[in-house]
Structure 1
Amino acid sequence: MHRRFELTDFEWSIIEPQLPNKPRGVPRVDDRRVINGILWRFRTGSPWADIPERYGPHTTCYNRFVRWRKAGVWDRLLTAVSQAFDGELVMIDSSSIRVHQHGATPKKGDPNRCMGRSRGGLTTKIHALVDGRGLPIQLHLSEGQASDCKEAGPLLEAVPQDSIFLADKAYDSDAIRSQLQAQGSFANIPAKRNRKQSFAFSSFLYRYRNLVERFFGKIKNARGLATRYDKRADNFLAAVKLFAARLWINAYESTA
């Protein structure tokens, strides 16, 4: 994969302050080089062992990715870069990701799966809440056959007061509408056909919901995210958050 996919100086200037400091002891292998190796792995969908030598030992890339995931580094990075999100308009949706056979064999009884059977076979769902620019605010994983409506809970908590919330009919439920109303937000969701009650709805605003679909299209440019090769769901979600954070940084860079 061409080096144009590696971190720019601007991206690195944003990411470096979010990384753990290690003032004492043996200096770490260059963090920027390691993160470029991690990005290469998910961009190409290749096995960790195939990471090119220019990024250092593949074991270093893998171990640091996992160690920083456990330490919450990728979570903090996404939180830090998304602080200035546009809260006037937010939208939610999900996208099914096919699980590759290499990722479909976790340890028996491992609760960290987030895999399920749906029409596409063994799949994982990425649930995303994005702002009015299509930039991610909150991300969540579930099994492929899980109901969008039931999995919306962890994302709804991030919906700010006085915002307009866009979603398709899959999210039309009394529970979701009540929670948004309690949070001081307006639900712009088309009602299901079997609804007896009518709700205020703007078809003009609803057209902007394609921004969340564009978000999924962008992260799926990375082959390792368009298909799940990771056995552990937390590793896969961490990679999604890393690429999501990069979308934010690129948006900052384009306006700098």
Structure 2
Amino acid sequence: MMRLSDSQWAVLAPLIPPPVKRTNRGRPRRPDREVLDGILWVLRTGAQWDALPTGEYPPKTTCHDRFQEWNERHIFPAILAALYEISEERKLLDLREAFIDGTFSAAKKGARTFGPTKKGKGTKIMIMVDASGVPLAVHTSSASPAEVKLVQDTLDASFGLDFPERLIGDKAYDSDGLDADLAVLGIEMIAPNRRNRRKTQDGRPLRRFKRRWKVERTIAWLQSFRRVRTRDEVKAENFLGMVQLACIVILLRLISG
């Protein structure tokens, strides 16, 4: 059962802004913590909103509407930015190097903004993590574009303002154009050369490539949330909201642990 611990809620509660001004009519607003626990149940199990256990969580409409409200107000990115700052203040981030990779989420129902691939129709999740595997940025896109074309968008979605010194990826990121673009930002791109490419990386920087398991581990954490592993949201922005919420949980575990 997915519920926030008291220590996690102590970190998160001050980061959730109050609701927009409303009238005194209608039922009292359910506490954010109760509603968030219901949303997290859907995120973890991948179940439909209708399947929320009656009596254990607020009604499905309350949980769904609150998720929509927070997502439309861009509260999840704001929380990620705040958690990034907290992590930085506590010296939990290591930006000497970062790792980038993409993963595939199969799109169900009538999802918008998806792309056909060999795996079927789906959405691509791009994630960048620091030297320890802490999420630094997340971006969702149609699954059709090559990952090398989504690096800049992923950097633009960074939770903080600081770029890593080095960005490490697999052969999909071996590109002279990408190397040049990142060099302008002060980032060294490290990736093994593809077979049909001239050798541009020597052995010493490539030793860092052996630590790519850290981003793969973080992707496994993301995929443990079934609503992320399989996309059920019709709207692309709602699916991104679920992915961002999963990253919030991962960061909360780090900060409150």
Higher mean C-alpha deviation, range 158-167 or range 85-94: 158-167
CA deviation profile, 1:121-158 (whole Å, cap 9, x unmatched) = 11111011111121111111111222101111112344
Is residue 171–residue 194 contact of structure 2 (8 Å, CA) maintained in 1?
Answer: yes
TM-score (norm 2): 0.88
Tell me if 1:43 matches 2:44: yes
- Distance, in Å, in 2 between the alignment partners of 1:196 and 1:50 is 54
- Matching residue of 1:105: 110
**Does 2:96 match 1:88?**
yes
Say yes or no: does 1:253 pair with 2:252.
no
8 Å Cα contact 2:39-2:63 kept in structure 1: yes
Tell me: CA distance 1:64–1:171, structure 2 relative to 1, closer, same or farther (3 Å): same
* Amino acid in structure 2 at the alignment position of 1:21: P
**Separation (CA, whole Å) in 1 of partners of 2:226 and 2:252:** 20
Unpaired runs of 5+ residues, structure 2, are none
Cα deviation for residue 204 of structure 1 reads: 2.0
Aligned-partner Cα distance in 2 for 1:65–1:14: 19
Query: What TM-score do you get using the length of structure 1 for normalisation?
Result: 0.88
Deviation at 1:160, TM superposition (A): 4.0
Greater mean alpha carbon deviation, residues 28-37 or residues 156-165: 156-165
Query: What is the RMSD of the two structures over their aligned residues, measured on CA atoms?
Result: 1.8
Determine the C-alpha separation between the residues in 2 that align with 1:228 and 1:187.
31
Evaluate the alpha carbon distance shift between residue 169 and residue 20 of structure 1 in structure 2; reply closer, same or farther with a 3 A threshold. Answer: same
CA contact (8 A) 1:125 1:142 kept: yes
Alpha carbons of structure 1 residues 171 and 228: separation in structure 2 relative to 1, 3 Å: same
Stretch moving more, 49-58 or 235-244: 49-58
- SS of equivalent to 1:123: strand
Residues 1:73 and 1:204: Cα distance change in structure 2 (over 3 Å): same
Unaligned runs of 5+ in 1: 107-112
Task: Indicate the SS of the match to 2:50.
Answer: helix
Match of 2:57 in 1: 55
The match for 1:166 is 168
State the match for 1:179 in structure 2: 181
**2:141 matched residue in structure 1:** 142
C-alpha contact 1:34 1:60 (8 A) present in aligned 2: yes
- 1:232 and 2:235 aligned: yes
CA distance in 1, matches of 2:113, 2:132: 28
Alignment-derived partner of residue 14 in structure 2:
17
Contact 1:97 1:124 in 2 (8 A): yes
Deviation at 1:220, TM superposition (A): 1.0
How far did residue 86 of structure 1 move?
2.1
